[in-house]
Amino acid sequence: MSDTILTLTIDGQPVSGLATETILQIARENKIDIPTLCYLEGLSAVGSCRLCMVEIEGSPKLHPACVTLIQEGMVVTTQTERLQGYRRNIVQLLFAERNHVCSVCVSNGHCELQELAHKLGVDHIAFPGCYPELEVDASHRRFVLDHNRCVLCTRCVRVCAEIEGAHTWDVKNRGMRSRIVADLDTPWGDSATCTGCGKCVHVCPTGALSEKGKSVAEMLKKRPSLPYLVANRTEERQ
C-alpha cells in the first residue's frame, strides 16, 4: 500500500506520488507553492495554523494540505481568491493577537510571518490589536524567549521532543492565554531538561526565540539543516 503510486491534479497540473504522501509534499516536489507556518520538513505535521488550506473538487470544506494524504484522481486547487482571503485573515489575526513590532525585532527581514504578510499582500491589520502585556524570558545563558513574537506554531515543542529528545518545551493554558513554557513553567535558565542545543531557536519562524546578543534584523535561522539532521539520524538507526 505504501508504495502505491497515485495520480492527481494540483492547480491543473497532472502530478503523482505515493499513497503515504500529503498534498503539501507532492505540491512542493512539483514546485507548487502552498503557504505554511506550523509545518516544517523534518518534524511531525500538526495542521494547526490552517494557512495551507486547499480546495478539493467534490468536497464542500477546505483541507489542510500538510496533513491530507493524496488520493487517486483528486483535483486540488491551491490559489483561489477564497483561499487567499482566508490566509490573509489568518496572518492578520496572528499580527493582532500579540505585539509584532517588526521594526525592533531581531528577526526583521528574516521572519516567516513577515514574509507571509508580504506574499499575501497584507499591508495593514483589519482587526483591533490585543496588545497583551507579555514577558520576555532572558534567563537562559545563550537564548531569549520573547512571548510577544510567538505565533504558537509549536515547532520548538516538536523539535525539542522529536529530534533533541529533551521535551523541554510545552504549551500551557488554552486559546488567547496559551503560552510556550519550559519544563513545568519555570524560567528557561532554570530548566533541568534543556540541553542548550539551540534547535528550538533555529526552527522558530519569528523572533520569539533568538540568540542573546543579536540586535534588530541580525537573527538568521538555520531551518534547512533540519531535514539533513533527521535523514542522518534515520540512517544511523537502520
Q: Which residue, 195, 114, 209, is CA-closest to 156?
A: 209
Nearer to ligand FES by Cβ, of 50 and 179: the residue is 50
3-class DSSP state of 172 = strand
Q: Which of 32, 39, 150, 156 binds ligand FES (CB under 6 A)?
A: 39
If one counts every other C-beta atom within 10 angstroms of the C-beta of residue 9, the result is 14
The residue within the footprint of ligand FES, chosen from 11, 28, 47, 77 (CB under 6 A), is 47
Residue 55 touches ligand FES, criterion: CB under 6 A:
no
Q: How far apart are CA 62 and CA 30, in angstroms?
A: 21
CB of 56 to ligand FES, least distance (A): 14
| Contact range with ligand FES by CB under 6 A, out of 7-15, 48-56, 182-190, 228-236 | 48-56
49 or 120: CB nearest ligand FES: 49
Tell me if 48 contacts ligand FES by CB under 6 A. yes
CA angle 105, 166, 215 (to 5 degrees): 15
- 51 near ligand FES, judged by CB under 6 A: yes
Which range of residues in 15-23, 37-45, 108-116, 203-211 is near ligand FES by CB under 6 A?
37-45
CA–CA separation, 55 and 64 (whole Å): 9
The stretch near ligand FES (CB under 6 A) out of 34-42, 55-63, 68-76, 172-180 is 34-42
3-state DSSP helix/strand/coil % of the chain, to nearest 5 = 30, 20, 50
* Size, binding site for ligand FES by CB under 6 A: 12
Using the minimum distance from each CB to ligand FES, give the nearer residue, 66 or 156.
66
- DSSP letter for each residue of 70-125: --TT-EEE---HHHHHHHHHHHHHHHHHTT--GGG-TTTTS-HHHHHHHHHT--S-
Q: Does 49 sit near ligand FES (CB under 6 A)?
A: yes
CA angle 45, 48, 49 (to 5 degrees): 110
- Binding stretches for ligand FES (CB under 6 A): 36-39, 47-52, 64, 66
